[in-house]
Amino acid sequence: MGKPHLIAKLRIQAARVWRWFAPPVPRSILAPLHAAQLDNVRTQVQMLLTVAALNTCIVMAVCWNNGLPFSNYAWMSGLILYCFARLTVWRRLLQKAVPLEKVPAIIRANVGLSVGMMGFLGVTASITYVAGTFAYSTLIPVSLAFGATAIAHCLYTLRPAAVGVLVIGITPVAGSMIVAGDFNTKMLGISMLSVEFLMIRFVAAQYDRLIEGLFLEQQIRELADTDPLTSLPNRRAIMASIEAELESGENRKPRFGIALLDLDGFKQVNDSLGHHAGDLMLLGVGGRLADAAVEGDSVGRLGGDEFILLFRNVENKVELSSRATAILAALCHPIDLDGNRMPVAASLGYALYPDDGETIREVMHAADTALYAEKRAGKTQAKAVASSREQAA
């Protein structure tokens, strides 16, 4: 019993360490986080690769000046060539727009390459120091510590990469200096570990502030795009969705429907039962519309008692009429307003893009004309009415 219990505790502790090292990110901010990480990598990686190659050249120059055999530092030439090869590949990659679906793979690749390269350098520097290859034995460890610190500072948005670079780039060589060095070297190794610890805290704090900022931006966007009463998208958000749908077609125009829905007799509800009851009705209607919408469609509130629906992937007017009728059917049952069961009556007008207009303004006008034609007809039951072009046909 003791051993399984110990293993379970170790797994729990390992899971906690991993969650700190690479904390999970809520899906709601995953896309903006990836965008921030890609922008960070885009601006920093080229500079870091250039500096890494330059510093390696400096170390090679010191080795050559001290008369060391080229075989002792020949591997550094491979590192320089690697940096320039990665720089060339990266520049070619950035010459064209990066698809969103490829961003996570690019980020993972940079995390792996950063940690892998620094791990190789950390182990090599440790072996070199213990073997006493260089006359100035602390040159490479100190250069490596500077490099790891610079990489972690520049790539703080990639928390696993930044922390991993610090740990694997500084810890092995600092440990070898503490174990095998003289007093001054031991103190230098301890100093390097303290800098590593402080940089890890700094990177973690910077990353946490980034996440907090993305959450704040998300909340601001939600407040700006959400109707405060019904929690549906407001006019600004739904119009942005329609614009995006209009631009989604690559080789051919997309086909989508727009429906405007207006409650009949809403003013009488406010006058007889009060504005609180009117708010309850709007809240109930908004919920029913959202529940009745099929996956992929959007429901929004334009203001007052007027709602808007975006029907995506509509082939023709027959299909649009069927989907609009299904939406209205969800409003047929009375709604409870603090104990008062009130019937719901609504009028709806719809139009199809591009059949009823070449622009969003024209399609919206066609749907609005159909809606008010229905309102003027004085119907008492909810009924969907097509655009005026369809009526004329």
List active site positions: 305
Length of the chain: 393
Where does residue 300 rank: exposed (0-12), middle (13-18), buried (19+ CB within 10 A)?
buried
356 within 8 A of 305, measured Cβ to Cβ: no
Q: In whole angstroms, what is the distance from residue 330 CA to residue 16 CA?
A: 48
Closest CA to 222 of 235, 231, 213: 231
- The CA distances from residue 30 to 59, 228, 331, in Å, are 40, 25, 36
How would DSSP label each residue in 255-302?
-EEEEEEEETTHHHHHHHH-HHHHHHHHHHHHHHHHHHSPTT-EEEEE
Q: In whole angstroms, what is the distance from residue 65 CA to residue 30 CA?
A: 50
Q: Which residue's entry shows tokens 């092995």? A: 172
Q: In whole angstroms, what is the distance from residue 69 CA to residue 232 CA?
A: 72
Phi, psi of 249 (to 5 degrees): -75, 130
How is residue 178 written in tokens?
A: 């503490």
Q: In whole angstroms, what is the distance from residue 14 CA to residue 6 CA?
A: 12
Phi, psi of 309 (to 5 degrees): -130, 135
How would DSSP label each residue in 21-71?
HS----GGGHHHHHHHHHHHHHHHHHHHHHHHHHHHHHHHHHHHHTT--HH
How is residue 36 written in tokens?
A: 């921030």
Q: In whole angstroms, what is the distance from residue 363 CA to residue 245 CA?
A: 13
Give the Cα-Cα-Cα angle 184, 190, 191 (nearest 5 degrees): 90
Provide the 3-class DSSP secondary structure of residue 348: strand
